[in-house]
Structure 1
């Protein structure tokens, strides 16, 4: 009897694994079958790599002069600050586009365990944004460092510079996951994108107006600010949290939001 139970357990695990594999494949197809995904990815690469190259070209001579009050490393991933808008859009649309079309009901009918759908979307969105974000940062580095090297201030791809490359990928992946969680919570494209962009770009800067150490710490802990040191060899903000400490804070915030979205997902009608 114990042998039979063991075989049944293994068969059940194999079936569950295969089931999640199908769900993962379906989410991959759904993400890339939407035209907006392609345009947003193109915009991410153009903004991330293009703006980094442009800003390095325009400031290389100044950065090499004695008048410069910023380090070249602060500019080598500059375009990724703008490209994060595209990560927000990708993460949001991966969820809200299905709610808008009603396709989410079909997804949940095919996969009754809604947590599997959530997890599959998270794996696909985070994986894609990590790869695209890292490659975009590398393209920006190659373009921008060309102009820095001409002025004798080129940066070798090692140490904090190398960390910033995959740090950009990690940051965009976390931002996409945060946007995905907000998408599940509000289930509306414009509202979700507005909430995330307002939190990252507007509220994240406005809280610094709060006087005293309270304002300083709230500013450091805001999602968009916490991991800012991870995405650049030298941060524009000397008071920012350390690269990995800040990213850990951001991950904790994203995890809390995902937990809330996961909980509500199983308790609300599609």
Structure 2
């Protein structure tokens, strides 16, 4: 518990968590507000309310998580941390738990805040959360952000430089996996096993049970169920973190 408290204090002693959280809220809830204001009252759907949270706000959260590690390497405070806690794995796992928890809470605030904003601006729209798929679509955002933070921290530990880690995460999430889909024939098959594509698959409101194995409009034939896709995404994040912890133990701080 002491390590968790220390990591929480260290995290909130910098400005990046505050700025990133504010930006994520603006992108997630703000984009929903713009869409709701420009849509005829009564025509807004629940799926549209999470438009900003699935990629834009997630990208900001990934950056926030990476910064939690790379800023320590940049200012060499990580050396003091490892001197105080010789077990590097414990220190880095504590940091991961704190950042992932904060990311998950922020995800829930953005998701339900977006629904609340949509209801406020479009009161005649049917935005009730009734089915399991609808709850997964909204409440699942927090799970996705928490797992994404774990992956981002792993990248930060491996790269150690802010610019490099942020560039990798943004290109990976927002560009690379989408571009792979343009590869003739094999592209969509590869996409079915990419981590962020599976993360988006988990959040989709109309999954295989409603639209068949091949997602309407995406052309990706996912082999896993939506919860299976979340487990796959989590598995990749944890595996990458394990590799990062091994590397961190073997090299100089």
TM-score by length of 2: 0.88
Q: Which residue of 1 aligns with 2:212?
A: none
Q: Aligned match of 1:254 in 219, 233, 237? A: 237
Quick one: distance in 1 between partners of 2:75 and 2:10? 13
CA contact (8 A) 1:27 1:124 kept: yes
Q: Which residue of 2 aligns with 1:26?
A: 6
CA contact (8 A) 1:201 1:224 kept: no
Q: Which residue of 2 aligns with 1:222?
A: 194
Q: Which of 1 and 2 has greater Rg?
A: 1
Offset, 1:240: 6.3
Offset, 1:149: 4.0
Offset, 1:257: 0.8
CA contact (8 A) 1:52 1:78 kept: yes
Offset, 1:57: 2.8
Residue pairs, 1:50-69, within 5 angstroms: 50-60=30-40, 64=43
Worse-superposed segment, 162-171 or 132-141: 162-171
Q: Aligned match of 1:134 in 108, 116, 136? A: 108
CA contact (8 A) 2:201 2:226 kept: yes
Q: Are 2:128 and 1:145 aligned? A: no
CA deviations 1:58-85 (Å, max 9, x no partner) are: 2346x83xxxxxx823312011021012
Quick one: distance in 2 between partners of 1:158 and 1:47? 26
Offset, 1:232: 4.3
CA contact (8 A) 2:188 2:221 kept: no
Specify the SS of the correspondent of 2:250: coil
Residue pairs, 1:6-85, within 5 angstroms: 21-60=1-40, 64=43, 72-80=45-53, 81-85=55-59
Quick one: distance in 2 between partners of 1:264 and 1:196? 19
* Structure 1 residues without counterparts, runs of 5 or longer: 1-20, 65-70
Quick one: distance in 2 between partners of 1:240 and 1:85? 25
Rate the CA distance shift 1:84–1:183 in 2: closer, same or farther, 3 A.
same
Q: Are 2:190 and 1:207 aligned? A: no
Specify the SS of the correspondent of 1:182: helix
* Structure 2 residues without counterparts, runs of 5 or longer: 208-216
Aligned length: 240
TM-score by length of 1: 0.83
Q: Which of the pair is proportionally richer in helix?
A: 1
Quick one: distance in 1 between partners of 2:129 and 2:191? 30
Rate the CA distance shift 1:165–1:38 in 2: closer, same or farther, 3 A.
same
Offset, 1:125: 0.8
Q: Which residue of 1 aligns with 2:156?
A: 183
Q: Which runs of 4+ in 1 moved over 4 A?
A: none
CA deviations 1:132-165 (Å, max 9, x no partner) are: 1101110101112344542xx4121222222222
Quick one: distance in 2 between partners of 1:138 and 1:154? 15
Q: Which residue of 2 aligns with 1:14?
A: none
Quick one: distance in 2 between partners of 1:44 and 1:197? 14
